[in-house]
Amino acid sequence: MTTKFNTTKQTNENGATKMRRRDFLRNLVITTGGVTLGGSLLAACGGSSTTTTVGGLAIGTPEQPIKLPVTTQAIADGLANETGVLEILNWADYVNPESIALFEKQFGVKVVESIYDEEGAAIAKLRNGTFKPDLIFGMSSTGLAKLVSGDILQPLNKSYIPNFGNVISGLQNPYYDLESQYTVPYMIYGNGIGYRTDRIDKNAFTSSNGYDVLWDSQYKGKSGVLDSPRDTLAMAMFRAGNFDANTSDPAIIKQAGDDLIAMREATNPKVDILAYTELPAGNRDINFTWSGDLFTALQYLPEGVSPEVLGFWYPPKTITTNDFFCLTKNAKAPVLAHQLINFLTDTDNALLNRSYVGYQPALGTITVDMLLKSGTIPESLVDALVTPERYEAALSQVTLDPDVDALWTDQWIAFTAG
């Protein structure tokens, strides 16, 4: 397998840059106040006990996992693969074209891909029949509740997905879909600090409180944080030793806001989601960001720059998130849809897929050694991988009550208004 360090952005037939997964994440933090709803892995420290509903269905949390209702049966065992076309709905550039070509050759079919750039709009089009895919990639737990309440999905028959056993054990029975009735995890990532190894020694993150580097005035004008209120405020809380990412304590929330203002005065960080381009370009030394964007950053390195200049500090306790595949109720090729899920959860196929996508497949079979040997990540980014130990320590975010959300929002406005 060859390393894909492509420095050219993907464009559509009109020459416009396609919306990629990170663009959706930016839209998500704008439209939801920064709530990451994709689902962290296991029961976590703290968290709200409030149940949030979408379309009449509760969104599961680690403290209150949910088994979703089933209104139709899964397809029977032992059916033959359909012929002709398999239709998928996906984010732009969120599956490797080479992987799709291999699947088409193996099964003698054609895969047709439709692109969506906003989850809510995609669900509306699924409801009204504009989109009629067999298989959907990359939905969040909020999206799942909307799809199930709209009677858009069918349950999976895992006899067609023997590679389901490759999935991270903590996600084989996820709290947002107990027993994985409707979903199989696709990609996973966590929050941490990306940095330039040629400018910052990795020991700076381990010799004391690793977050302190973001407050170090020597990086003034050379740092950034996520344009995500919940993520970045929670980061400040974690730095202070408060590990409830959903706290309603006004004092803790206020302290996090004050600490971010102190960081602003010390380093004047950029507040955006551009770590994946700014770090490889050398415009920043350090950035609080998503681990998956460091892998994507490899594609934006200038020619001749070693991938070893990119590093990542994964905090001992941080937020971890994933998305998933799901199958539509009216799928015309449901067996093939199962087969594509199974194909992409095969370890070798998943390695090939991530060499293009950048983000980490949610498979326990993809080990650090395997990724290094595949040539798709450098040694300096080993720490950006979500490992089994990190699953155990994962923290989660859930939707906040409006009054609590207002407290978080007030502190974010105070930080960004300066």
Cα–Cα distance measured from residue 160 to residue 113, given in angstroms and rounded to the nearest whole number: 22
Identity of residue 102? L
List the beta strands (DSSP E) in 129-183.
135-139
Domains, the chain: 21-69+76-188+320-380 (3.40.190.10), 191-318+395-416 (3.40.190.10)
Asked if 413 and 229 touch (Cβ cutoff 8 Å), the reply is no
Tell me the pLDDT tens digit for each residue of 378-398.
Answer: 999 999 998 877 877 888 887
Tell me the pLDDT tens digit for each residue of 284-340.
Answer: 999 999 999 899 899 899 999 999 999 999 999 999 888 999 999 999 999 999 999
Cα–Cα distance measured from residue 406 to residue 176, given in angstroms and rounded to the nearest whole number: 25
Query: What's the confidence (pLDDT) of residue 214?
Result: 98
Does the pLDDT at position 8 exceed 70?
Answer: no
Across the range 90-95, mean pLDDT stands at 91
Query: What's the confidence (pLDDT) of residue 13?
Result: 33
Of 198, 197, 195, which Cα lies nearest the Cα of 222? 195
Identity of residue 52? T
Residue recorded with tokens 């839209």:
27
pLDDT classification of 124: cutoffs 50, 70, 90: very high
Tell me the pLDDT tens digit for each residue of 222-264.
Answer: 999 999 899 999 999 999 999 999 899 999 999 999 999 999 9
Helix axes 97-107, 334-344, angle to 10 degrees: 130
Hey, is 396 helix, strand or coil?
coil
Query: What's the confidence (pLDDT) of residue 374?
Result: 77
pLDDT classification of 11: cutoffs 50, 70, 90: very low
Tell me the pLDDT tens digit for each residue of 31-66.
Answer: 333 333 233 333 333 344 456 676 677 777 777 898
Tell how far CA 41 is from the center of its chain. Answer: 12
Across the range 355-381, mean pLDDT stands at 87
Burial of 256 (0-12, 13-18, 19+ CB in 10 A): buried
Across the range 355-368, mean pLDDT stands at 89
Does the pLDDT at position 96 exceed 80?
Answer: yes
Backbone φ and ψ of 304, nearest 5°: 90, -10
Query: What's the confidence (pLDDT) of residue 59?
Result: 75
Helix (H) or strand (E) holding 127: helix 119-128
Does the pLDDT at position 120 exceed 90?
Answer: no
Does the pLDDT at position 122 exceed 50?
Answer: yes
Hey, is 137 helix, strand or coil?
strand
Across the range 87-104, mean pLDDT stands at 95
Query: What's the confidence (pLDDT) of residue 55?
Result: 66
